[in-house]
Structure 1
């Protein structure tokens, strides 16, 4: 029996706060629980109620009687198939258990499971190189003082270990336990990816590897590495060294580093799919090899973003000879069966302006530049096939005669993905999951499904939808900010790719996401600490105080707004308040819940009223501190209107609560004036938007209706 716990209930909201508080305790290395004596930790655990904080949700989950202690006596055994990759994954799990619950580090992995706390039983290695068809299923059973994890493959065991870690919870003040559960789990989709664009802004290996750790924690299995762009060629080629020597400004990955990343990913059951964009987005290629271009050059690395005219010349045989040699070199470096060749946003301007290319099109009866790109894609697909790679391309590669072996990645919507399926091509969806759209909340991405009911695909066509990928495009990210742009929203997307389609409760998703966010930060990501560091820099003090109060109410504007208002380039500093704000900040959903409960006259009315009062009072009280910070921080100068607006919003909230609680009618004109203020505050200021305006409007409307 599948059981969902606390889904959308008011009690669930209260319990989620307590669960989140408990998890903070787990994540702090100096927790008082870690200092307890072995004698106390060894006590038999009571039947602890199960609080479901799993993300992604398993395919099947049921509670079971009992629970097991996680304490200094904890032990783990690996029986059945065992190799170095499984042992390394087990060691990582034990390291996390040490941080969470004080389990001693570097415990030996036993061969005999008769007395072990956790027995891991794996049938076989699985694929030597992580593959699309990897069996990631597992079962996990926890009863009194015993747990069994069974999987057909090492990767399946890795997925189960992540679930086991998420099950650990505090048992009051006496220690840590894993409640009794019976889980049978497998992913809904085979392709659950995250793309990072290292072309526009280079991201060091350390960033890539901690991202892979985050992906493993939420069971993502494809790292799509966007390595070439107009702004930079980011990988070492020994066959064509001028690619990185002249096209990267010295910021590129050596082949040794690439091998390190591939191995790091494989050790976590993650595939690495490289992308070498062509025929457009190729300026950085042409800096060193202008003979590949459709215009004579010379070429320079682009600093501005957008669609540029530079494109390969698809009419020269020398172009395909170059691509053949380059792909051969990269195919030997990247073991995955798939290679992405981009194919997007080639505007055809250089093709139209080149008389020789126009003559070629006439001779070969190629009527349009789109048809010429199809010709190019077909030639490239044959090259990839020669090197035993399946081709992946963006929507633009989808043409009626596209080989069925090509996988289409849709950035324009489910309709294009469905068209690919109707044509017999496999596809992956990315359109709803663009993480660079910082104004899109996790809920919006969470409810977007790779399979759209309105497209009415047949079962055979549905099977061609491999899954999806979240995309982190690189125009507005640097190493300090990238984590907060990816996480924790990517964890919600990961659940959409893994869990059953019926798991769609947004309130419960946010409840569990709050806990998952803390887990990810404790595992080494910086999506919480990174923005906090940025605020400290802006405030010029360790105590961000009022600036933190303001930041909690704001989110960054969307990609397009920033690009238009700031005219960003590759050289634009990412050091303003927008760069220290978290997309979809926690207060957005928390305030919505508190207001909705208050207006529903729920049992927690007084608690919510008290919390809202304290929140609104903090907005009013923040102004003096904000004024002082802005007076000495030039980077906060464009935020001054927000500093004036925040206390106004606080007063609106306090007034609304007063009229609601006293059952007094609001003064004439108050609601209209307050609504106008809220409407005015919707305007973009300093590249920021308020996330608290809609709940405030609800309070105003309710107060206006009070008699």
Structure 2
């Protein structure tokens, strides 16, 4: 019998073989996002010890730093030291930039570039540095390992984005995200051509930025975890170097308990207020009826708009339940006197007042769906978490909008589901061309209830690369199989841009078993995923003190192995599988079946793994049923009705979460079992 380590090696290499073999038949470039136009050439450009880069024409310090980053990433990818300037043969990579971009990066700037790779030279040109930044990332992804060394197939690329707004929102309010996490995220964004970093800086659980005017915001509302203004300036400069705008969000009037710990007079209820330690929607909200509230916000917004140079400023506006307003007689009297018929009208009044304070500072207001009301000014940008219909409604009324529904990467949905979400859906198709132009793009949203600085990268990457492609590439680029094939390659490429999520996954698993061999735990993890949508909230009790260090926190949102196995099971059930695919499915099921015996002796030794005993046993039993189904199908001997019913009953129970985990092999085995029906 093969050892667990050898079986895991077979399992992994087989998966990689499947991926690479399929790629050979793919005529598209193996990069993400796919460019708008690409024409293959003849031959290949070789990256070797003579490689040099020269900037011709317009230059600036940002371009020089981009060149240095490019060479460092290329060195990481090839192992070829490229830091020497005086190399024989002269430069082979020429960068030509027509002129500067805006000093403060703006929405809708030209981000196009032209990349021409021939066997003897590479030329990258763009109207401004933004296109150069994108073209450098394309070149890095094109580097391939071949018998001739590290090469790039000759190609001519003309590229520009489909949407001008392509972002990621990071929630630093619930779980604080240190600067290293922010920088890593920005590096990853540059690699896949995202250009907006939306920084969620205030929440019920924490106020995360230094205010010099109102220091009690961070002193009492942050548990000491906040960014200084100098640190923020450094991040803004770091992002600009990568072609990324930084937009702050300060949520109001709800999601604002942390504000009130230091400044209770802002609130609609009675003090004292404490930082919230649980997750959810809470009652505290700002008081929209006091002029002192707007005086405070006027000064605060003035301070923050001076710190953040971008033209856009996010005021939140979501999920205010109005319960504090309902319980406050003075607020109810104010509403009657001012003909505000309900809490939605009161919030609209508040939003209108705040929007004027933002406009006063020369900025443009962004708010979540709830901000859109009949009298919302047309220059307010709506970020839609409710869906494409809400986004289309905003666009129809003349407001510009950003889609986030479908891009909630904290909900552990598969990359294919994110890839299918498009800012211009059927609802938008009914809009006029002018109204469609109001839809600016979209943002992936990383809410942080169930992530820490340790594992947040595994929730962002690599799935966000699929979202980046949806927002950059032509609308016709929709092939799911192609996306997954390329995503596997880009996932490895992201390592060279500083992403550590793959290594962190290994570290988290090793920590769970201590000095024991981690191989069998990896095999178990290969079949598991976290629960989807908001199911986790009902499966266990969590607050801000709960350690997120268990298997559910270590496994990625989407198991590549489970997805590949489901593909095999589908082919087998349809009678379309090759002998190699039959053998592959059997190998994997044997691995999962036999792993339980190796893993069970290890699990009781750690509190982090003891809960996995039934999970491992369920995987074992599921694999046993899967092997039985394969035997039945191969030998053309149907499983008896009674045995099939017993097995289906077990599989139905196995679909339920155990230890807050989903066994993702169960649906595939159920597919095989159902195929045994005469």
Alpha-carbon deviation of 1:595? 2.6
Alpha-carbon deviation of 1:134? 1.8
Higher relative contact order (CA 8 A, sep 6+): 2
Alpha-carbon deviation of 1:151? 0.7
2:400 pairs with 1:397: no
2:224 pairs with 1:247: no
One of 567, 571, 580 as aligned partner of 2:554: 580
Equivalent residue number for residue 648 of structure 1: 621
Report 1:327-366 matches (<5 A): 327-366=301-340
Question: d(CA) in 1 for partners of 2:28 and 2:254?
Answer: 50
2:606 pairs with 1:636: no
Equivalent residue number for residue 137 of structure 1: 112
One of 252, 266, 277 as aligned partner of 1:303: 277
Equivalent residue number for residue 84 of structure 1: 61
Alpha-carbon deviation of 1:693? 2.1
One of 7, 17, 31 as aligned partner of 1:54: 31
CA contact (8 A) 2:638 2:677 kept: yes
Alpha-carbon deviation of 1:262? 0.6
Question: d(CA) in 2 for partners of 1:90 and 1:580?
Answer: 35
One of 437, 446, 471 as aligned partner of 2:419: 446
Q: 1:253 to 1:53 in 2, by over 3 A?
A: same
Equivalent residue number for residue 651 of structure 2: 678
Q: For 1:81-134, what per-residue CA distance to the aligned partner results, in whole angstroms no more than 9, with x for missing partners?
A: 111101111111111111112332324399x9x942211111111111222122
Question: d(CA) in 2 for partners of 1:542 and 1:428?
Answer: 48
CA contact (8 A) 1:77 1:109 kept: no
One of 208, 211, 224 as aligned partner of 1:234: 208
Q: 1:109 to 1:666 in 2, by over 3 A?
A: farther
Alpha-carbon deviation of 1:702? 2.6
Equivalent residue number for residue 16 of structure 1: 19
CA contact (8 A) 1:340 1:392 kept: yes
One of 440, 461, 473 as aligned partner of 2:435: 461
CA contact (8 A) 1:94 1:107 kept: no
CA contact (8 A) 1:94 1:103 kept: no
Equivalent residue number for residue 192 of structure 1: 166
2:387 pairs with 1:413: yes
Report 1:112-151 matches (<5 A): 115-151=90-126
Equivalent residue number for residue 317 of structure 1: 291
Equivalent residue number for residue 669 of structure 1: 642
Alpha-carbon deviation of 1:664? 3.4
CA contact (8 A) 2:305 2:363 kept: yes
Question: d(CA) in 1 for partners of 2:369 and 2:539?
Answer: 29
Q: 1:469 to 1:281 in 2, by over 3 A?
A: same
TM-score by length of structure 2 reads 0.94
Question: d(CA) in 1 for partners of 2:200 and 2:171?
Answer: 5
One of 165, 172, 189 as aligned partner of 2:140: 165
One of 210, 226, 230 as aligned partner of 1:256: 230
2:654 pairs with 1:698: no
2:43 pairs with 1:66: yes
Question: d(CA) in 2 for partners of 1:130 and 1:454?
Answer: 31
Alpha-carbon deviation of 1:667? 4.2
CA contact (8 A) 2:63 2:129 kept: yes
CA contact (8 A) 1:19 1:515 kept: no
SS in 2 for 1:89: helix
CA contact (8 A) 1:72 1:102 kept: no
Equivalent residue number for residue 9 of structure 1: none
Question: d(CA) in 2 for partners of 1:157 and 1:524?
Answer: 20
2:517 pairs with 1:543: yes
Report 1:378-527 matches (<5 A): 378-438=352-412, 440-455=413-428, 456-527=430-501
RMSD: 2.1
SS in 2 for 1:704: coil
Equivalent residue number for residue 29 of structure 1: none
2:589 pairs with 1:616: yes
Question: d(CA) in 1 for partners of 2:671 and 2:280?
Answer: 40
Q: For 1:223-269, what per-residue CA distance to the aligned partner results, in whole angstroms no more than 9, with x for missing partners?
A: 00000001100000001111100110100001111111111110000
Q: 1:567 to 1:559 in 2, by over 3 A?
A: farther
Q: 1:70 to 1:600 in 2, by over 3 A?
A: farther
Alpha-carbon deviation of 1:543? 2.8
CA contact (8 A) 2:389 2:427 kept: no
Alpha-carbon deviation of 1:427? 0.3
Question: d(CA) in 2 for partners of 1:676 and 1:527?
Answer: 37
Question: d(CA) in 1 for partners of 2:269 and 2:130?
Answer: 48
One of 367, 371, 374 as aligned partner of 2:341: 367
CA contact (8 A) 2:52 2:93 kept: yes
Alpha-carbon deviation of 1:421? 0.6
Question: Alignment length, in residue pairs?
Answer: 663
Alpha-carbon deviation of 1:51? 6.8
TM-score by length of structure 1 reads 0.91
Alpha-carbon deviation of 1:590? 1.2
Question: d(CA) in 1 for partners of 2:482 and 2:174?
Answer: 36
Alpha-carbon deviation of 1:382? 0.7
Question: d(CA) in 2 for partners of 1:73 and 1:18?
Answer: 32
Question: d(CA) in 1 for partners of 2:164 and 2:502?
Answer: 30
Large movers: runs of 4+ above 6 Å: 48-51
Question: d(CA) in 1 for partners of 2:253 and 2:427?
Answer: 33
CA contact (8 A) 1:470 1:493 kept: yes
Q: 1:542 to 1:55 in 2, by over 3 A?
A: farther
Question: d(CA) in 2 for partners of 1:49 and 1:483?
Answer: 29
Question: d(CA) in 2 for partners of 1:209 and 1:564?
Answer: 33
CA contact (8 A) 2:586 2:627 kept: yes
Q: For 1:162-202, what per-residue CA distance to the aligned partner results, in whole angstroms no more than 9, with x for missing partners?
A: 00000000112x31110011111111111101001000110
One of 625, 628, 638 as aligned partner of 2:598: 625
Gaps of 5+ in 1: 1-11, 23-47
Question: d(CA) in 1 for partners of 2:209 and 2:380?
Answer: 24
CA contact (8 A) 1:390 1:406 kept: yes
Question: d(CA) in 2 for partners of 1:109 and 1:51?
Answer: 36
Q: 1:536 to 1:366 in 2, by over 3 A?
A: same
Alpha-carbon deviation of 1:536? 0.7
SS in 2 for 1:259: helix
Equivalent residue number for residue 36 of structure 1: none
Alpha-carbon deviation of 1:73? 1.1
Question: d(CA) in 2 for partners of 1:51 and 1:404?
Answer: 41
Alpha-carbon deviation of 1:547? 1.0
2:263 pairs with 1:289: yes
